[in-house]
Amino acid sequence: MQDTASRKSNVSSFLTTDYVLDEAVTLTRFAFSHSKAVELIDAARSSKFLRIVYSEENLFSEGVEFFRLHSDKEWSLTDCISFAVMKKFSLRMAFTFDAHFKQAGFAIVP
């Protein structure tokens, strides 16, 4: 998810959630190796360009409600928590290959 302030000029930072990082680390673990997964965690946590939003009860609840209200969609709970975060931070654009974000009304890049 692109930071709103950065969207006005060049992209200089990204926002993601701990849930998305969890999915990326798990995928990296099984597609490559444990050490590569640890490298990803370390790089994400130390990045000056990536902000990780950690789930808390309100965001989780908003994601669950999004999930509950859209039974006609094949959205994951992680997608719905991401949508709640994007709503909270007034973000309209997501850097993703996941078409569910477009389906939910967000612009996607690339």
Tell me what the mean pLDDT of segment 75-84 comes to: 96
Query: Chain-centre distance of CA 75, in angstroms?
Result: 13
In the chain, where are the structural domains located? 12-54, 58-110
pLDDT at 35 over 90: yes
- The predicted-structure confidence for 64-74, as pLDDT tens digits, reads as follows 999 999 999 99
CB proximity list for 89: less than 8 A, separation 6 or greater: 1, 3, 4, 15, 53
**Residue 104 to residues 41, 100, 108, Cα–Cα distance (Å):** 28, 6, 11
Mean pLDDT taken over the chain: 91
pTM score: 0.82
How sure is the predictor about 1, in pLDDT bands with cuts at 50, 70 and 90? Answer: low
Question: Tens digit of pLDDT for each residue in 5-31?
Answer: 444 545 668 999 999 999 999 999 999
